[in-house]
């Protein structure tokens, strides 16, 4: 049976009980295992927000891993297509397949959200193959569609937020994560950067910081609810500053902040609502 959203005095909040609670627990476990920092940020949001964010992030975790769990490109393509088909069921409003991620995801996505996530899946096809990015614009589109699109869907599931603001914050987070992953991507025989020279890496990080400033200039356009999604980017500014100031840290795999700094930073942002 298709998951249904309540319309009573709960203001449209998803009612969680029985099977739905089990699904959310499964989504939480998946996100915690695949993306512990995003999980920590999600747990710092209010309970209503978590119910919406966890299925979205579980979907992202499943799609992100699909190209990497097999050496067979055809199988990887089929895995991604499975998720595209699930999104189409949600978009059409028909019966949705029973699945611990798809079922709760159907409760929080609208048609526009499914379109954005479908573009995310399409961008993830790059991960299947070993071809480099065509140019800087291709790289930017990839980060925009994956991390930017995910942030747009997450923020708009929680409240009003201009798409470009969410995409800018998502891009910043995606770029920071990408730069941290450079050594692992190179070890996997991928070509993760169009230009890996230190000055080019520094310029890339500076461009990401410029996007963050542009997003912050429009804080008043983002509701407090939607802003909770931006907690996921709480480390991104510090990481991009490191990359901009010391680009050699990227190739060395030396980007990041201490566990104490991570916990303190997340707590401060959660309490202050600042992003």
Which residue ranges form the domains of the chain, and what is each CATH number?
A: 1-129 (no CATH), 130-275 (1.10.600.10)
Is residue 1 scored above 70 in pLDDT?
Answer: no
Pick from 33, 40, 95: which is nearest to 259 by CA? 40
CB burial string 131-170: b at 16+ within 10 A, e below: eebeeeeebbbbbbbbbbbbbbbbbbbbeebbbebbbbbb
Q: What is residue 209's DSSP assignment? A: H
With cut-offs at 50, 70 and 90, classify the pLDDT of residue 130: very high
Is residue 3 scored above 70 in pLDDT?
Answer: no
Is residue 13 scored above 60 in pLDDT?
Answer: no
CA atoms 200, 38, 154, 55: torsion sign? positive
pLDDT (tens digit, 9 = 90+) per residue, 38-50?
A: 999 999 999 999 9
Predicted pLDDT of residue 20: 87
Is residue 4 scored above 80 in pLDDT?
Answer: no
Is residue 8 scored above 90 in pLDDT?
Answer: no
3-state secondary structure of 207: helix
C-alpha span between 151 and 158 (Å, rounded) = 11
Maximal C-alpha separation, the chain = 57
Cα angle at 225 between 232 and 47, to 5 degrees?
75
Cα angle at 257 between 255 and 260, to 5 degrees?
160
pLDDT (tens digit, 9 = 90+) per residue, 84-112?
A: 999 999 999 878 999 999 999 999 999 99
With cut-offs at 50, 70 and 90, classify the pLDDT of residue 16: very low
C-alpha span between 71 and 63 (Å, rounded) = 16
């Amino acid at each position: 049976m298709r998951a249904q959203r309540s319309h009573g005095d709960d203001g449209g909040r998803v009612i969680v009980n029985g099977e739905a609670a089990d699904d959310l627990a499964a989504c939480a476990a998946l996100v915690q295992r695949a993306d512990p920092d995003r999980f920590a940020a999600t747990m710092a949001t209010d309970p209503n927000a978590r119910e919406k964010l966890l299925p979205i992030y579980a979907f992202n975790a499943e799609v992100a891993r699909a190209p990497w769990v097999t050496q067979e490109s055809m199988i990887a393509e089929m895995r991604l297509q499975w998720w595209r088909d699930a999104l189409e069921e949600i978009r059409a409003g028909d019966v949705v397949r029973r699945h611990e991620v798809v079922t709760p995801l159907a409760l929080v996505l609208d048609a526009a959200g499914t379109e954005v996530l479908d573009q995310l899946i399409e961008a993830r096809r790059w991960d299947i193959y070993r071809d480099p990015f065509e140019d800087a614009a291709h790289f930017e589109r990839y980060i925009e569609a994956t991390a930017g699109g995910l942030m747009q869907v997450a923020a708009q599931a929680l409240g009003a937020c201009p798409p470009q603001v969410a995409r800018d914050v998502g891009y910043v987070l995606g770029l920071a994560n990408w730069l941290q992953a450079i050594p692992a991507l190179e070890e996997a025989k991928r070509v993760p950067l169009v230009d890996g020279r230190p000055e080019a890496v520094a310029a890339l990080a500076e461009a990401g910081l410029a996007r963050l400033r542009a997003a912050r200039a429009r804080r008043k356009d983002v509701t407090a609810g939607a802003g909770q999604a931006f907690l996921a980017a709480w480390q991104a500014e510090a990481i991009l500053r490191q990359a901009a100031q010391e680009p050699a840290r990227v190739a060395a795999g030396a980007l990041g902040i201490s566990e104490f700094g991570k916990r303190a930073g997340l707590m401060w942002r959660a309490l202050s609502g600042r992003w």
